[in-house]
Amino acid sequence: MVGALKFELAPMNVVWEELAAGFPDAETMARITIRLVVAMIFGAVIGIQRERAGKPAGVRTHMLVSSGAAVFILASGEFGMNPDSISRVIQGLVTGIGFLGAGAILKLYDRRAVEGLTTAAGIWMTAALGVAVGLGRFGLALVATLLAWMTLSLVRQLEHIMNRGDRKPEDDTISAED
């Protein structure tokens, strides 16, 4: 009877051992958590601006892109990949996010315009922020976040002032004549 009980518990032990093996020590877990939270915050800064501008890719999208990019970097580092291998992960992220951004770009034949370029660029930038945070480059990510926010918020106002009503500046539109 005791042997049968050990046999039944063995699979549960394997499950618990496997789950426990996937958790790092407390210090590493704190570092990972901090980086993911910071990535989400920086993504939210860009996402809030986009949402306030009425764009479809808003807060949640940008938070997920930034934290997702950070997860790829953190997981690669935690797995023990060397810098060359991590650079290949980054290359894959840049390519993959490019396809995600491409989905945000629309060509409007009736208006001879392309929309979504700034949204796509914002998604790409947000992924770059997540990579920087995942690598522990908080200063770089902070400055890049502030510059991206300024580009999205303040440059649009500057464009409006420069155009003085000659044409309507639309955030994500380039006419076929440009």
> How many structural domains are present in the chain?
1
Q: Please report whether residue 77 resides in a domain.
A: yes
User: Could you list the residue range(s) of the whole structural domain that residue 169 is in?
Assistant: 27-175
The pTM for the full model equals 0.78
Structural domain includes residue 13 = no
Q: Would residue 59 count as lying in a domain?
A: yes
Question: pLDDT of 70-123, one tens digit each?
Answer: 999 999 998 899 999 999 999 999 999 988 888 888 766 677 777 888 889 999
Q: For residues 60 and 118, what is the distance between their CA atoms, to the nearest angstrom?
A: 17
| pLDDT one-digit tens code per residue, 12-48 | 788 888 888 888 889 999 999 999 999 999 999 999 9
Question: In this structure, which amino acid lies at residue 3?
Answer: G
Strands 106-108 and 173-175: unpaired
* 12: in domain: no
Q: What is the pLDDT of residues 142-175, one digit of tens each?
A: 999 999 999 999 888 887 788 875 555 454 454 4
Evaluated on CA atoms 67, 69, 71, 77, the torsion sign reads: negative
Residue 66: burial class (beta carbons within 10 Å; 0-12, 13-18, 19+): buried
Instruction: Give me the chain's average pLDDT, please.
Output: 85
Residue 90 included in any domain = yes
Nearest in space to 77 (alpha carbons), one of 140, 135, 138, 18 = 135
Residue 116 belongs to a domain: yes
